[in-house]
């Protein structure tokens, strides 16, 4: 039973692979995030010797600013995330993408094909792909070539992407049901009839299955693309952004945030009560409810929701 998703959202998530939430961020949340982006951009430029018009992306963005960290358990987004993927989750990645307008002499390649000068110049994710399907992940071992459902991301739009060619995210609705190999066979040329360029205002959010084929269009506008993705996957998979988050950050977090940051309740061995002869990872077998406080939270939310829906 869903906590927050409407029937239409459930249908869209299942069939298209994504749900669009216009004006999701409140003006003060958006202003805080934009100021965080500027602050972090200054630090990245200094650390990496970048010029103001150089694009960059950072991972584990949550560790770089409290405004980014606060997105992981955003009180209006978390219920939707749990409806989409369940409560047994943690963060795989949080990334910030900062992409100033293309230099005038840089020619954009055909959208999603990844063979243009922009791809060669190092602009990231300009070719169509599903996440987690590279050769050394599910591309190799999967027998029927299908990607299991492993992950959702929330895409937060911080700058104006309402016009075409502003560094928009493109999605191919329903492609999460296809086999990633097909995309390679198509030479990454997705039929325009099977693709949508999301044209979204600042403050919009998109909850999406990352198995959905996606790419980033060129930024031919005069505005810098500023966006974040917050990715959630199952606790029994390994995150990409960290082995363990900073212990001080974990200790200062609420139980639910600690779970999302990949932490366990502080006492006991991470491989259970009998680590020598019967080790059993607490990421796999849940013996202490404190390791997954999101479960009780989800159950409580669901029963409150069903009480609310009961006819009087």
Ligand X SMILES: O=C(O)CCC(=O)C(=O)O
What is the C-alpha to C-alpha distance for residues 160 and 35, in angstroms, rounded to an integer? 15
Assess contact for 108 and 118: CB atoms under 8 A: yes
Q: Which is nearer to ligand X, 126 or 294 (CB)?
A: 126
What is the C-alpha to C-alpha distance for residues 36 and 31, in angstroms, rounded to an integer? 9
Q: Any idea which residue has 């959702």 for tokens?
A: 152
The reply on whether position 83 binds ligand X by CB under 6 A is: no
Kindly state the smallest distance separating residue 183's Cβ from ligand X, in Å: 13
Helices (H), ranges, the chain:
7-15, 27-48, 66-69, 78-85, 117-120, 180-185, 247-251, 255-260, 293-309
Q: Any idea which residue has 């430029």 for tokens?
A: 45
Kindly state the smallest distance separating residue 34's Cβ from ligand X, in Å: 17
Core vs surface per residue 107-136: b (16+ CB within 10 A) or e: ebbebbbbebebbeeebebbbbbbbbbeee
Q: Which is nearer to ligand X, 182 or 300 (CB)?
A: 182
The reply on whether position 118 binds ligand X by CB under 6 A is: no
Q: Kindly state the number of chain residues that form the binding site for ligand X, as judged by CB under 6 A.
A: 8
List the one residue from 3, 147, 150, 169 that touches ligand X (CB under 6 A): 169
The reply on whether position 65 binds ligand X by CB under 6 A is: no
The reply on whether position 216 binds ligand X by CB under 6 A is: yes
List the one residue from 119, 125, 162, 240 that touches ligand X (CB under 6 A): 125
Which x/- pattern, by CB under 6 A, does the window 175-214 give for ligand X?
---------------------------------------x
Question: Which residues of the shown chain bind ligand X in the complex (CB under 6 A)?
Answer: 97, 125, 131, 169, 214, 216, 227, 229
């Amino acid at each position: 039973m869903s906590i927050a998703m409407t029937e239409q959202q459930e249908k869209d998530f299942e069939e298209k692979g994504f749900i669009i939430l216009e004006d999701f961020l409140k003006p003060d949340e958006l202003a805080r995030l934009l100021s965080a982006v500027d602050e972090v951009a200054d630090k990245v430029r200094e650390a990496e010797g970048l010029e103001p018009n150089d694009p960059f992306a950072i991972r584990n963005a949550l560790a770089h600013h409290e405004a980014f960290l606060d997105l992981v358990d955003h009180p209006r987004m978390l219920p939707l995330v749990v409806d989409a993927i369940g409560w047994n989750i943690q963060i795989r990645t949080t990334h910030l993408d900062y992409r100033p307008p293309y230099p005038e002499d840089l020619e954009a390649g055909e959208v999603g094909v990844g063979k243009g000068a922009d791809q060669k110049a190092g602009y990231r994710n300009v070719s169509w792909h599903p996440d987690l399907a590279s050769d050394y992940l599910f591309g190799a071992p999967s027998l029927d070539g299908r990607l299991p459902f492993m992950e959702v991301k929330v895409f937060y739009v911080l700058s104006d992407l309402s016009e075409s060619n502003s560094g928009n995210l493109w999605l191919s609705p329903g492609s999460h049901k296809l086999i990633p190999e097909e995309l390679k066979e198509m030479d990454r040329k997705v039929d325009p009839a099977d693709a949508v360029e999301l044209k979204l205002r600042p403050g919009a959010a998109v909850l999406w299955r990352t198995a959905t084929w996606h790419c980033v269009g060129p930024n031919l506008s005069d505005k810098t693309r500023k966006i974040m993705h917050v990715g959630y996957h199952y606790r029994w998979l390994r995150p990409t952004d960290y082995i363990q988050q900073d212990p001080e950050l974990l200790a200062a977090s609420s139980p639910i945030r600690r779970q999302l940051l990949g932490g366990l309740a502080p006492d006991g061995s991470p491989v259970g009560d009998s680590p020598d002869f019967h080790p059993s990872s607490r990421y796999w077998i849940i013996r202490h409810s404190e390791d997954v406080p999101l479960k009780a939270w989800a159950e409580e939310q669901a029963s409150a929701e069903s009480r609310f829906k009961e006819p009087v």
